[in-house]
A and B are shown apart, each in its own frame.
Chain A
Amino acid sequence: MKKTYKIDVDCANCANKMEEAAKKTVGVADAAVNFMTLKMTVYFEDGADVKSVMQEVLKNCKKVESDCEIFL
């Protein structure tokens, strides 16, 4: 399953950091952040609970880049 979210982040490197953080979250099979369009695409693992996984993704992203936002 794949979902796309709007995000807000200031610099291209911060976007890369968010991507790394999202990828490492449990329940996320893969993630891609597009700085150009300010979008995050998350590929969920089978059977993952999208809502709770995304809360974790947001938490992990905030850890590496406190200025970021994911509009869930």
Chain B
Amino acid sequence: MNKKQKKVLFRILLAAVLIAAIEISGIKGTWKLILYLAPYLIIGYDILIKAAKGIRNLQPFDENFLMSVATVGAFLLGEYTEAAAVMLFYQIGELFQSYAVGKSRRNISALMDIRPDYANIEQADGSLEQVDPDEVEIGTVITVKPGEKIPIDGIITEGTTSLDTAALTGESVPREAAVGSEVLSGSINLSGLIRIRTTREFGESTASKILDLVENASSRKSRSENFITKFARIYTPAVCISALALALVPPVIRLLLGMSGDWSVWVYRALTFLVISCPCALVVSIPLTFFAGLGGAGREGILIKGSNYMETLSQVRHVVFDKTGTMTKGVFEVSGVHHNSMESGKLLELAAHAEAFSTHPISSSLRKAYGEEIDETRVSDVSEISGQGVTARVDDRTVAVGNSKLMQAVGSEWKDCHGVGTVVHAAVDGEYAGHILISDAVKPTAQAAIRALKDAGVERTTMLTGDAEKAADAVAADLGVDEVFSELLPADKVAKVEQFLTEAKGNGRLAFVGDGINDAPVLSRADVGIAMGALGSDAAIEAADVVLMDDDPLKIAKAIRISRKCIRIVYENIWFAIGIKILCLILGALGITNMWAAIFADTGVMVLAVLNAVRALRVKNL
């Protein structure tokens, strides 16, 4: 508990003791009134002040106003105990709420802990100087001691160590890193001293990106939150007017009918009505539920950019995903060279050189299979043809490397491959030179991930890929997805998703999952875009609504289940709170209930709603 909470707790205890003492002493009349003022003011002075300020600022209709009117009214009617009790229980509820918030906040603070405070730069005399990471330029060599956070993304130039990346990826096993390894800011250096050459500015580094994402999450409000805000704006003045009507209309009618007015009875009922109708349980618990849900998801390495996306995610019925890097490891390896007219080593050499400047995963696997340094001076006239491949001049020979469409374009006959994988055809000087088979391994959890999606109530799973039909079909059958569309260009993927969106009927939403490379347009087009393992890719973090910090496709279903739970709790709270209140309001208006029941309807419901809201934080076993 913090200082503020302790102070409130002390006031609650003091007021409770005083109330008990006055009750036991059995004092009656004016003295009782005077004595009761003490606990009432001790417990309620800040509420009264807030209500007064609200009236002065012409924004009177809030909880403080309701509580103040109700308790002052009760005092005037001589119901001193009730008046003090209403304030007392209201404060208990508030304290409880603030304690629950603090607790949830601490629970998720691990995610916030990744903010690096400084970077060490070695001086000429060998000593380390701590500088603001914001001032470190790209390419600077920084030193990270064991136990320190890596402040800026970079590449290790010296030293080996193991890194704790739990805050970034949720992965608890430390990652080994040595010279040449790329390291992300926000990871904790566990064992050895390392030197890192920075590759990004601090503001562009992973830690800053994630913090930015988390810190801006709440600005995108969900429909239920907006509903509550609007609800409270209309609701509070409405109940105030109803209460006023309840206090005035029946007595006036009774007087007109020649009966006694029974003013105190009706005023008491109106005050009870006011206490019951306080919207605290709603306005407190709904944002708290989203707060806890987003926090719980964050702890699992699922960053959701706003509670509106949580809402959409909970309604996902159709999951469309990219193959490479999402369901497969995205690490391609050459598994064979077939039908080659020249030595396979020579073919690999030419292909690797032709693809020397390409960043496509296929090109890097070609270069890896070639195994030797690429001599870039041997390559000229490179042109990359999107969705087909690359043509280039290597050692004064025209080399075309790509898929069958490219072979068709350069007018070369090609032979199909019997193996499963991506087939890279090569033509040298217009003549077919053979093909290289590259395969990509399916992620170990991919199958389970598709099953988990089905279990989570996803009706349709679709795989989109730029790969050849054969490779795509093999993976799709292996995974058990419903349908697959292959040989798509990036633009085709957008078109496909748009087609699915128009086909979709009812409330089912569409989620697109991609690894972030070339996927940005599709990510932003889908109802909810999920980027996975995208910590390195700025465009994906920018375009996606949900970022999965590690590569595990099982997290897709988990994200859906977390948001379902959160939204379910929100609706439970809305119906529960409104239900109890309406029930008590009717009873209160009929005079069946009294102030004590009203206190339960207010504080009791709030405490229960807060307890329910905090459940959203528990997502570990979902």
Contact = CB atoms under 8 A, between A and B. Distances in A.
Given A15-B287, A41-B216, A41-B219, A36 B97 contact: no
B217 A36 contact: yes
Contact of A37 (B4, B57, B112): B112
Chain A interface helix/strand/loop/mixed: mixed
Interface of B: 4, 46, 49-50, 53, 57, 59, 94, 97-98, 101, 105, 108, 112, 214-219, 225, 229, 232, 283-284, 286-288, 291, 294-295
Given A12-B288, A36-B214, A64-B57, 11 more contacts: A10-B94, A12-B101, A13-B284, A15-B218, A16-B225, A34-B219, A35-B101, A35-B218, A36-B291, A36-B295, A37-B112
B611 to A, nearest CB: 15
Given A11-B98, A12-B284, A63-B57, A35 B291 contact: yes
Contacts, number: 68
A19 B226 CA distance: 13
Nearest to B95: A10
A65 to B, nearest CB: 8
A55 interface: no
Contacts of A15: 218, 287
The size bracket of the interface on A is 20 to 34
A8 to B, nearest CB: 9
A10 to B, nearest CB: 5
Contact of B291 (A10, A12, A63): A12
Given A11-B98, A66-B49, A34 B215 contact: yes
A13 B225 CA distance: 10
A11 B101 contact: yes
A41 B215 contact: yes
B50 A67 contact: yes
Contacts of B101: 10-12, 35
A19 B218 CA distance: 11
A36 B57 contact: no
B103 to A, nearest CB: 13
Nearest to A31: B219
A4 B219 CA distance: 13
A57 interface: no
